[in-house]
Amino acid sequence: MEYNKSSIHRLKRIEGQIKGVLRMMEQGKDCMEIVTQLSAARNAIDRTMGVIVSANLEQCVRENVEKGESTDHLVKEAVNLLIKSR
């Protein structure tokens, strides 16, 4: 699968968030501030996973439709993948 620039950009932003959290920890910042930033990073990761899974699902469905194959199993696999990631 080819990943679009948007997904890569999202992950680079998350990387920046994590580096920021590390700096906050090194500076001895308050626990609530750190947990808030970690929660934001986790939510960003969850959204990025959703974007990647949905793009992959769309591509797989198109390929199966072109081949005249069923797509039901693809949707189930995508949902299971998202559920396992939680």
Comparing CA positions, the residue from 71, 43, 76 lying closest to residue 51 is 43
pTM for the predicted model, two decimal places: 0.80
Task: Decide if 48 contacts 11 (C-beta within 8 A).
Answer: yes
Task: Decide if 48 contacts 10 (C-beta within 8 A).
Answer: yes
Task: Decide if 52 contacts 7 (C-beta within 8 A).
Answer: yes
Query: Per-residue pLDDT for the chain (86 aa), expressed as one digit of tens each?
Result: 778 899 999 999 999 999 999 999 999 999 999 999 999 999 999 999 999 998 888 888 988 899 998 888 888 888 888 888 77
Domains of the chain: 5-85 (1.20.58.1000)
- In the prediction, which pLDDT does 83 show? 86
